[in-house]
Structure formats: C-alpha cells, structure tokens
Amino acid sequence: MKFGVADLPRIQVSLFAAFLMIAVGAATAHFSLNLTKIAQLAKSGATAERNEVEGKLKQVRDEENEIKQKSSLFSNLQARGVIGDEQRLDWVELLKDIRTKRRLLDLEYEISPQHPLDANPGSGFAFYASTMRLQLRLLHEEDLTRLLDDLHRQARALIQVKSCNVTRLSHGAAGQNGLANLQADCQIDWLTLHEAAK
C-alpha cells in the first residue's frame, strides 16, 4: 500500500493528535525535570537547615554538660571550704588534731596575712593565699609526709607546699629526751577562692 498526498486529509487528525501528544509529553518531561530540580534544591536546603539545627542543639547540650560539670566542681569546692572566707580557726584545729593523731613531738606555725595570688584579680572570683611557716621536730621523714598528706586531704583550703627544708639535729639539740632526729621548716600556701575585692 502506497501513501500519497491524497491520503493526507484522511490522517490529518491523527497526525495532529500525534504532534499534540509529543508536545504534551515533552512539556510534561520538561515540567517533571523542573519539579525534580526544585525538589532537590528544597531537600538540600532542608538538609542544611537540619544540620544547622543539630549543630546548635549539640552546642547547647555541650554547654549544658560543661555548666553541670563546673557547677558540680563549684559545689564540691564550696563543701570543702575552698570557696569563701578563710577558715583559719579550722586550720589551727586541724593542725592540733594531726599533731595528736600522728604523735608529733613539736609543731609550731605562723600564718602571714592573706594576699591575692594575681596582682590584678579583676572582677568575679580570685584566688587568695595565706602563707604558713611550719616548723616541727620529727623522728623520721615519714612524719612530715604523713602530716602533708593529712593537710591535703582534710584542710578546708587548697594546700600548696612551696618549700620544705629538713635538717638533722645534733644530739644536744634533739630535746624531748633525745627522741627528735630531724627539724623541718616548711612554707605552705593555704589557698582560698572568693570574690575579688572591689
């Protein structure tokens, strides 16, 4: 069967319908591609926004944990007496208790006035130190290490040993029936934390 020009009017409607369907299909494909691009852009924007929100949420949680840790540390230091005014009477009582418990032969101390550790403490909280000169006679070196360990564990302040000089006593200077063998001379800072003076 041959197709001729005379057959054209007969298929004109079908041809028009075919071209119309091709145009509609092309427009639909173009529209679908545009919708896909728009959806991908929207997805990318939503993902970026979600990541930003998750980052902010993580930062808030990290800050919350840091605040909890610092609050716990602050409470522990406050319970130990490190934060607040000096407790010199407690320090003296502690030294007496340690002397009795450890059966130390002789213990003398002198506490200097409190001073700020930082020359310019600024505002807020600052560390202050009171230096104690501690002199004691010892049977042996372990008496000194036990005393310092007791101070570190029990004192209502932070203890920082600046220096300790231990010398051997001559037999005539031993005193107390010759029981003491050593003389210790220590410089100890008792550190407390409280609001800086204004």
Provide the pLDDT confidence category of residue 56 given band limits of 50, 70 and 90: very high
pLDDT, tens only, 126-141? 888 999 999 999 888 8
Q: Which residue has the higher pLDDT, 110 or 14?
A: 110
Token digits of residue 84:
């607040």
**Rounded Cα gap, residues 151 and 159, in angstroms:** 7
Q: Do 135 and 166 touch, CB atoms closer than 8 A?
A: no
Residues in the chain: 198
Token digits of residue 175:
């005193």
pLDDT, tens only, 92-114? 999 999 999 988 888 899 999 99
Whole-number average pLDDT of the chain: 85
- Give the containing element (helix H, strand E) for 102: helix 88-102
pLDDT at 105: 82
